[in-house]
Structure 1
Amino acid sequence: MSSRRSGISEEEINELISKLQSLLPETRRRGSGRASASKLLKETCKYIQSLHQEVDDLSDRLSDLMSTMDNGSAQAEIVRSLLRSS
């Protein structure tokens, strides 16, 4: 599909690619060198997958922590209040 059909100009696509590049840790470390759009999209997918895995791991750790706490303890209440405020 051409960018004309979608209503997005090539300039807008390039701007979005630059914004996406600035959000990825790997591309920020590399400096201002411009990656190809396909490489950038692959890196974005990989980064999102790693974030999903990190969330799953943290969720498991939190579940383990909560299971070892006494449900009525002050620590458990603090953790619950923090989770509710997020």
Structure 2
Amino acid sequence: MSSQGSRASHKITDDELSALVLNLQALLPQLNQGRNGRASATKVLNETCSYIRKLQAEIDDLSERLSQCLGSMDITSLDAEILRNLLQQ
């Protein structure tokens, strides 16, 4: 049996799910501000989604600002194209 097949048939236990949510909570700045309390799984997942959207918006903003900076620099068009392609990945 492939490892993917065995993973798909593995059911996660409540304890494993709780541990994963707790680990995820520790990664979120807004839920990990010195409190030892545990947030609900729903709150952790909602905050995770919000945080990922915030990070994506920051990435988009920084990419745009970098593109504008590159546009005003005196670099070859090939260098600029390579950098733009890297930023779009």
TM-score, length of structure 1 as denominator length: 0.75
CA drift at 1:29: 1.1
Is the counterpart of residue 66 in structure 1 residue 70 in structure 2?
yes
Give the partner amino acid of 1:63.
Answer: S
Instruction: Kindly provide the amino acid, as one letter, of the partner of residue 28 in structure 1.
Output: N
Distance 2:54 2:67 in 1: 20
Q: What is the CA-CA distance between 1:32 and the residue it aligns to?
A: 1.4
RMSD: 2.1
SS of 2:21 mapped into structure 1: helix
When structure 1 is superposed on structure 2, of 28-37 and 56-65 the one drifting more is: 28-37
- Report how many aligned residue pairs link the two structures: 72
1:42 paired residue among 25, 29, 46: 46
Instruction: List 4+ stretches of structure 1 deviating above 2 A.
Output: none
Q: Could you report, residue by residue, the CA deviation over 1:14-53 in whole angstroms, capped at 9, with x for unpaired residues?
A: 0000000000010111511110111111100000000000
- What is the identity percentage for the equivalent residue pairs of Structure 1 and Structure 2? 45
Q: Structure 2 unaligned runs (5+)?
A: 1-8
2:35 corresponds to: 31
TM-score (normalised: structure 2): 0.72
